[in-house]
Amino acid sequence: MAKARVFNIVKRFSGYPVEQDFELVEQQLKPLQDGEVLGKTLYLSVDPYMRIYVRNLPLGSPMIGGAVARIVESKNPQFKVGDIVYGRIGWRTAFVSDGKDLTKATHLPADVPESLAIGTLGMPGRTAYFGLLDVCKPLNPGAVVLVNGAAGAVGNVVGQIAKIKGCVAIGYAGSDEKVEYLKSIGFDHAFNYKKVDIHESLSKAAPDGVDAFFDNVGGDFADTVILRHMKQFGRVAICGSISQYNLKPESEAEGGKGLFDAVTKGPRLQGAILGHQLKVEGFIVLRFADRNDEANSALAQWVKEGKLKWREHVTEGFENMPKAFIAMLKGANIGKAIVKNTE
């Protein structure tokens, strides 16, 4: 009978997660029933949203997350042995599923690793695609696009799509190496936000202001941009606010009910939003799920044409999931942070 290793969440995070918040257990998997498949996990995703969403998971639950897997046994006619699938599999090395939450990764070009189905050709890529092309529209050639968290899984794709659409791409990330990477994939301007003054650097890079601001970070960075750097009728896509995720909101200490509680207080932004007639819109990529095929094929086509480059930060070994997750939250990754199951 097949076994799986699984990470459970056993303590509430307080500030940055620590390895002791997770417990690695072994599970015996049940024999397959009709309609079920047995999958072996190949690549697992570590994502910022996990930091927030687990607040409402009962302690002792398996960690949530996307992964890529190979079907190794099938009693479901929709899947055959050897199929590569992706879905919300969780932090586990093997699983039995009825297949409802699994999608075959048929959109991947032949010469790319299967792991791209959780990266540039997966949820992060689609987030960049819909956030930029739908939430930030209209995106005319020459428009100035600004993205923070730019060297990460979502951010690097945002900048590259902006370039594909003939826009000016400006990115901010947290190290000089990341800045070099952004320039190497075509960003027009890239800055290390830990070293430069945001207002000064942006005044030089975009003297006439920003048309579309794709915000992955929130906090002071976003305040500065919205208050001082948006053009009239500019668009702000609120994709994430990672600068706030590892701070300690009151509610987290109390057991954490609110997923997106404000942690720090900022300036009032309403005047700037009104004065510059901005459209500020939060979005969650699942909203566009009925258009996943459209995004998958556009992203895959750009990869095939060499217009969209991909990069991964790979941690080997399932037992290193917590380490990889914590390192990603602290900025260790360039491109998509993933874990390779080496079993």
Ligand X SMILES: NC(=O)c1ccc[n+]([C@@H]2O[C@H](COP(=O)([O-])OP(=O)(O)OC[C@H]3O[C@@H](n4cnc5c(N)ncnc54)[C@H](OP(=O)(O)O)[C@@H]3O)[C@@H](O)[C@H]2O)c1
> Could you count the other beta carbons within 10 Å of the beta carbon of residue 172?
30
Nearest residue (CB) to ligand X, 139 versus 217? 217
Nearest residue (CB) to ligand X, 34 versus 290? 290
With a CB cutoff of 8 Å and minimum separation 6, the contacts of 188 are 163, 168, 169, 170, 205
From 1-9, 80-88, 94-102, 171-179, give the range in contact with ligand X by CB under 6 A: 171-179
With a CB cutoff of 8 Å and minimum separation 6, the contacts of 39 are 69, 70, 71, 72, 85, 89, 94, 95, 96, 97, 102
Figure out which of the listed residues 49, 220, 224, 294 binds ligand X, where binding follows CB under 6 A: 49
From 2-10, 66-74, 167-175, 227-235, give the range in contact with ligand X by CB under 6 A: 167-175
Residue 16 contacts ligand X per CB under 6 A: no
Binding mask 87-126 for ligand X (x = CB under 6 A): -------------------------------------x--
- Scored b (16 or more CB within 10 A) or e, 13-28 reads beeebeeebbbeeeee
Residue 42 to residues 95, 195, 289, 315: CA-CA distances in angstroms?
Answer: 12, 38, 24, 12
- Looking at residue 333, what DSSP letter applies? -
Query: Closest Cα to residue 69, out of 1, 27, 26, 122?
Result: 122
Shortest distance, position 240 Cβ to ligand X, whole Å: 2
Residue 328 contacts ligand X per CB under 6 A: yes
Query: Closest Cα to residue 255, out of 100, 4, 57, 71?
Result: 57
Figure out which of the listed residues 217, 280, 299, 339 binds ligand X, where binding follows CB under 6 A: 217
Residue 333 contacts ligand X per CB under 6 A: yes
Shortest distance, position 246 Cβ to ligand X, whole Å: 7
Figure out which of the listed residues 90, 240, 256, 322 binds ligand X, where binding follows CB under 6 A: 240
Residues 246-305 within binding reach of ligand X (CB under 6 A): 283-285
Helix (H) or strand (E) holding 68: strand 66-74
From 28-36, 44-52, 289-297, 317-325, give the range in contact with ligand X by CB under 6 A: 44-52
66 is written with which tokens? 């996307």
Residue 175 contacts ligand X per CB under 6 A: yes
Q: Cis bond leading into 138, ω under 30°?
A: yes
Question: Which parts of this chain interact with ligand X (CB under 6 A)?
Answer: 47-49, 124, 127, 149, 151-155, 173-175, 178, 216-217, 239-240, 242-243, 283-285, 328-329, 331, 333, 337
